[in-house]
Every structure is written in structure tokens, then in C-alpha cells.
Amino acid sequence: MYPNLLMKRANLTPNRVALRFNNQEWTFAQLSEEAMNFAEKLHTKGIVRGSRIAILASSNSALVFVLHGCMQLGCELVMLNERLSEEELNYQLADSAPDYLLVDDYAKRTLSFENRWSFDEIESAKRTAFEVEKEWSKKRTITIMYTSGTTGRPKGVRQSLENHVMNATGSALNLGVHPNDCWLCTMPLFHISGFSILMRSVYYGMTINLQSKFDAELAIKEILSGTVTRMSAVAVMLERMLTVLESKDLSFPNTFQSVIVGGGPVPLNYLERAIERNIPVLQTYGMTETASQTTTLSSEDAIRKLGSAGKPLFFADVRIDGEEEIGEICIKGPHVTRGYVGAAESKNPLVDGWLHTGDIGYLDEEGYLFVVDRRSDLIISGGENIYPAEVEQALVKHPAVKEAGVAGRQDDKWGQVPVAFVVLKDETSEEGLRSFMKKQLASYKQPVDYFFVDQLPRNASNKLLRREFFNHIKNT
């Protein structure tokens, strides 16, 4: 059992600032009261301990109160990505089978879900007291987040209280915890990268400076003010901040401790430019199944091991499977999920206690992890994972498409972008496919280019050879 995290924190440091958003701030005592206010109103609506609640909302202070309120009531949270299309969201709702759906604004989507309320509808209810659990089971599911598998089918990952707490503990032992810590959160709270900051906040007693979305100018302003000590980012965000700093000949102050960069390997050029601007960049490697970080490069090794994702956090273990030095990254530890929900519920994510990630990397002679590739066919665009099979499945829904293949092309701005190769069975145009795909998938998953080909390259087992797509069109 673990203590009720927010209740414990509000008791330990009630007057410490927990959250800042849009020039307002809340102490941990005030955050606890806001959470209980929402929880008791949920209870009035008939939501009880153990209910599964799907949440679709933008990152702001209201969402923080809602998330903590649901946790105080003992609910499981299905974190919906607001960037997804309605078809993708409806699939996740059907697969996770939540009891209720909470939305910040009905106008955003027309989702076909019966039991749903807006935040304002909950706020208008009266408060009904209930007995708050002072202790939480470490096996309790806190969040369910969807991550695409190599087959392209999204899987609902269960993240337990133990997963979150042990990940936060490992991160604290690596980075250290200080009374004046303040984490700039520009990552969406529906992602594990954003939600993990929320969990660390109540666990460490740490302030969060929350922004609804990433803005390089605004992020730099916060950091230069000296109040922010850490930040999470992906490579494309780091590059945008570097460009602004370089254009103004500015550097980060010594009060800033580190920017934790995940979502794929960081180009060495970015790291070298960051050093010139006094930005301590710590590369990290993790995934939804590991409740965020598994390895992170410690500050004393940041320059010596440039390009590495670091060593495993204290409670984590990493091994490389394969006969060669470079092989599949496997992960073990109390931060690793023990299962999925919905269609993937029968799938055991662990083999002899190890999570086989499908990602490729190697450990050097000192045990530092270097990530070579994020799954052989995975496309990482601006830190977002795009699985070719998912885009292909959407493409072949078009009545004129016989076959489709998708591969990543290098891009200076986004790292990679998806490109589609299509075999037609009836006539259609590129414009027709683009219009069709906009209804199928989120904007960041849309192919930037379409090539119409007679056939797709395959191996003897009839599997697509995605790495051969670009060579194939050159030879035809």
C-alpha cells in the first residue's frame, strides 16, 4: 500500500506552490481542495470508486483539478489524445469501455458516447461527501493510455500506482529533488511525458509551471526568469528553442538544471548547439508501457556520453537481446506495465519478466544505452510515434486503393515525416486520398507525399519491405 499521494503531500507541505497557470497559482492545500470539490460533485453524479472515466481535454488548470479529483474518488483514467480523429477516439472508447466520458468542451467533438458530461456540468452539481481512501493499493490502475503496436492497432496500456511511483522514485534518485524545483510542463497531460510530471509534483512536493501547448518564446521567457529549473521536451522542441536563443544571442541561466529530451534520439548537432547555449540536455529513453523514463543520462555524463540515453534508473534493468552487439532493447522493473485493456487484454506484455520493446539499441562497455532505431519501421515525427501499419490500414479503406505502404522520410523540421506508396484498383487522385485520410487519422499521421506505384516491394514471406520503398520507386 502507498499513501494517498495528494492527501499526504497537502499534509506535509500545504503552503508550498503546487501549480502555476496563466498568472495564477495554487498551493498543495488549495489543489487538494479543488480536487475534493470536483470529486464530491462527481460522486453526486453517481460516479463511484472503481469507475473507469475517459477524459478528453486540453492541458490547463481545470484538467489538473479533474485528474486529481478522479484519483481521489478512486477512478481509473482513460487519457484520450485530443489530436486524434473522431474515428480513432471512438475506437479507443469502444476498446476501453469506460463508464463515463468527461470533456472540457462539447463543441470540440461529436463523439457517440452515451454517458458523458462536460466539466461545467459537473461543476454545477452539489457536493456529496464520501469516505476518501487514505491508502492506495500499489496494484491499482491509475491511468490507461493508448500506444500503437507494430501491427498498427492501438493498445490500452494499464499504468498502476506502483508503475508511476517507482518511475518517479527512479527519476528522483537520478536527478535529485530540491525544495525550489519547478518543472515547466509544455507536454500534453494526456501523454505519459506530461502526466508523469503531474505525479512527480505531488510525490516530490514540486511546483509545476503548466502551459497549454509548447511555445518556444514563452518557454524561454519562463526559463530566463529563473523560476523554472527543469523541463521535458522532444528533439523538435529543443531545436526550436535553440533557434530562438541563437537569433537573440541568449543562453540559459545557471538556475536551470536540465531539459529531459525523449521521443527518439537527439541529433548530435542539437546537443552541441545546446552546450553553447548553457542548456544541460539529458537524453532519456522510455515508453508508455514503462510509465515514462527507463534510462536517463545523468548530468555528470552529459558531455562525456553525448548521444547516449544513459543508464537504467535505479529500479530498472535493461538488456539487449540478439546474437549481435546491437539488438532488441528489453526492460524489466516495477515501472513496467503488467497488462493491457480491451482487445489486447489477453496479451501478456512480459516474457519471463521482461518487456520486449521491439526497439533497437546497444549497451557500451560501461553500460550506457544507445538507441539506434525506434522499431525498424517506426516513424518519429516531432516526438510523436507514427506506425506505418496504422496509416496503411486507413489508406486501404479507400475503395480505390488495392495496397498501401508507408515509410518515413528524413525531414529537417520534424525529424521524419510519413510518405505513402499506393497501388490502385480504381481511379482516384492524390487530392481525393488526402481528403479521405483527413477523416481517418490525426493531422500528424497524414502522409506528406503520395506515390502511385504498380506494386510494393515484399520479401519471400510476402511481408512489406518498407525500407526499400524509396529505392523501389527510383528503379521503376
What percentage of the chain's residues is helix, strand, coil (to nearest 5)? 35, 30, 40
The secondary structure of 226-289 as a DSSP string is: T---EEEEEHHHHHHHHHHHHHHT----TT--EEEEESSPPPHHHHHHHHHTT--EEEEEEEGG
The whole-number average pLDDT for the span 122-143 is 96
Give me 96's grid cell. Answer: 476501453
CA gap 37, 39 in Å, rounded: 6
Q: Which helix (H) or strand (E) holds 171?
A: helix 161-175
pLDDT interval class at 473 (50, 70, 90): low
User: Can you give the pLDDT at residue 377?
Assistant: 76
CA gap 204, 312 in Å, rounded: 20
For the chain, report the end-to-end CA distance as a whole number of angstroms.
63
Cβ neighbour number for residue 440 with a 10 Å cutoff = 19
User: Can you give the pLDDT at residue 85?
Assistant: 86
Mean pLDDT in the chain?
A: 91
User: Can you give the pLDDT at residue 376?
Assistant: 67
Q: Which helix (H) or strand (E) holds 50?
A: none
Highest mean pLDDT (candidates 191-200, 292-301, 452-461)? 191-200
Domains within the chain, CATH numbers bracketed: 2-373 (3.40.50.12780), 379-474 (3.30.300.30)
User: Can you give the pLDDT at residue 375?
Assistant: 65
Is pTM beyond 0.75 here? yes
The alpha carbon of residue 285 and the mean position of all alpha carbons in its chain are separated, in whole angstroms, by 12
376-402 confidence digits (pLDDT tens):
678 888 988 787 878 887 898 898 988
Q: Which helix (H) or strand (E) holds 7?
A: helix 5-12
34-92 confidence digits (pLDDT tens):
999 999 999 999 999 999 999 999 999 999 999 999 999 999 999 999 888 888 899 99
**Nearest C-alpha neighbor of 158 from the set 23, 341, 34, 296:** 341
